[in-house]
Every structure is written in structure tokens, then in C-alpha cells.
Amino acid sequence: MRWPSLIVASLVAAAMNQAPPQTGTAEGVAALARGDYQQAAGILKPIAEGWRQPDPMAQFFMATLYETGQGVPQDPLRACALYARASWVFEHPFGAQAGKLFKTLMRAHGTEWIQDCQLLADIGFDHRFEPVTLTLTPGHSIAWDLNGATITYEGKARRFAMRLASRGSMFLPIRQTELRGGAPGSSARHFNEVFLWRPSADWHSWSLEWHLFEIVRDQVIRVDAISQPVVTIQAAEPPAARSFDLRTYVDLRLTANGDAEWALLQGPRAGTGLIGGR
């Protein structure tokens, strides 16, 4: 949707009257009023997409930039997510306006797109999730996305919807682990490990979660024994994947008897547990 210039001008004028002077949002709106869309996007983007201080005005105008492709690549999905976030503060003038535009986008797209928009609004843009398709055996694979996993087995696809993340969660790359053991001639067991950092309410600490799944034919079976965070760190941001050695905290391995075993290697909950056969 291309915004008529008169509407944009009136909204910018209203924002200039409402935004406190010398704030980042006011500076971004001022750049927008000058027609400097790149500068406006550079100022508004971190404010609109951050979690610590929700700003419906910044969210609204950043959404319009994503929707029209001014100052940033056109991205209707991000626009939708920011309209949704702004609308959460419906009593705010720009929250109410964002709610109307959010509903307009909802009517223009299908169910899957709407789910993606709502998920992005809920967890945020800096989730670090990397979609991946993992091959277990020829003709047997699993594809992961933010909304869950799809198994392809014997020519058929089966979908497993699941939402692991919440507001501000950040993922590490999904790992695939194959364990071979047990009786002679027994088949390999295939596991997928999903790791994510979940922030505390005050954003001063991050807890690492380990979600373990076994893939058996066309099933995704969750290993429920691991229910507590692996480790909690005090930091403004969680460490990047390349600088954090997961295997110093957790392991997935075979026992001396050839049984599959999970292990927490550090902390007060350190211990091991067998993973039952399937």
C-alpha cells in the first residue's frame, strides 16, 4: 500500500506535536518530515524493534517505512508485526491507528502469513533463528522454522506446530545428533537439539534452554526430562553462538551399555538420564 502524501504529512505533523523534544523518536519523525527516509529508518528502527521501552509512535512510523519500502527494503511482514506491537497500546493515538492498519493487512493475507506476523510481533526480530532442513537418511528429513517442524518420510510430509520462543528469545543453531549403539544391527537414533536464550523480565539476565527431540519415522518426540534452564548468565545480551561452547554444559551420548543418555554437565542440576527406546 502506497501512502498518499497528504496522509503522511498529517500523521507526521501530529507526531511532531506529540513527541517530546530531543528524543530519538522526535528526531526520527523530523527526518521523516524532511523526506530523509534512510536517516528516519536508521533512528526509528532500534527504538521500534527494541523491547525495553515500547514506543507506539516509533513502531507506527517504522511500520510505514517497511510497508512502503522507503529507507528500508519493503517488508510487509515486519510492517505487520510493528503495527501489531503498536496496537497493544491502543489508548495511544498511534496505537489506535496502527490497530486499524494491522486489521487491513490481516484481511489481505492468508492464515499462514498472519501466524508469521503474530509470531514476529510476539518474539521480536532479533531472534537469531536459522531455518534449516536436516537429512536423517535418504528420503527422511526434517525442516525447522519458527512455527515448528515438518517431517518428510516415505514421500509424505507431516507438520508439527510448536512455539518454543517468547518475547525477546534468541536461538542458537539447531543441532542434529546421531547415536549408534545397542544390539548388533540396531538402527541409529536421530536427535535434534534446539537451544535458545530466554531473557529475564528486567532484561538483566538470560537463561539457556535445551529442547531435545528424537525423530522416529514421521514423529517428533520430545524428551521431557530436561525442563530447567541449563545456565543463567548476567548480561545485557546473550553470547553469540560462535563464542559459546554448548558442549561444556550439555551432552548427548551413549552409555557403556549402548543406551542413549542426556547429560547436564554443570550447575546445581548437573546429572544424567537415559532416553527410553522408541
Report if residue 129 sits inside a domain: no
- 18 pLDDT above the threshold of 70: no
End of a domain among 97, 123, 149?
Answer: 123
> Under a CB-based contact definition with an 8 Å cutoff, are residues 179 and 254 in contact?
yes
Residues 108 and 207 in one domain: no
Residues 170 and 262 in one domain: yes
Residues 87 and 28 in one domain: yes
Residues 170 and 253 in one domain: yes
Most confident of 108-117, 158-167, 225-234: 158-167
Report if residue 98 sits inside a domain: yes
- 227 pLDDT above the threshold of 60: yes
> Under a CB-based contact definition with an 8 Å cutoff, are residues 54 and 25 in contact?
no
Domain count along the chain:
2
Residue 200 belongs to what domain range? 165-274
- Write b or e for each residue in 248-275: b if 16 or more Cβ atoms lie within 10 A of its Cβ, otherwise e: ebbebeeeeeebbbbebeeeeeeeeeeb
Residues 213 and 105 in one domain: no
In the structure, what pLDDT confidence band is assigned to residue 21 with cuts at 50, 70 and 90?
A: very low
- 106 pLDDT above the threshold of 90: no
pTM: 0.85
Of residues 242 and 5, which shows the higher confidence score?
242
- 154 pLDDT above the threshold of 80: yes
Residues 94 and 177 in one domain: no
Residues 177 and 238 in one domain: yes
In the structure, what pLDDT confidence band is assigned to residue 260 with cuts at 50, 70 and 90?
A: very high
pLDDT tens column, 196-221: 999 999 999 999 999 999 999 999 99
End of a domain among 92, 123, 154?
Answer: 123
Rounded alpha-carbon distances, angstroms, from residue 173 to 4, 7, 64, 211? 42, 43, 32, 12
Percent of the chain with pLDDT over 90: 69
pLDDT tens column, 179-189: 987 666 678 99
* Residue 139: Cβ-neighbour burial (10 angstroms; 0-12, 13-18, 19+): exposed
Distance between CA atoms of residues 184 and 138, nearest Å: 22
- 85 pLDDT above the threshold of 90: yes
Return the pLDDT at 181.
74
Return the pLDDT at 226.
73
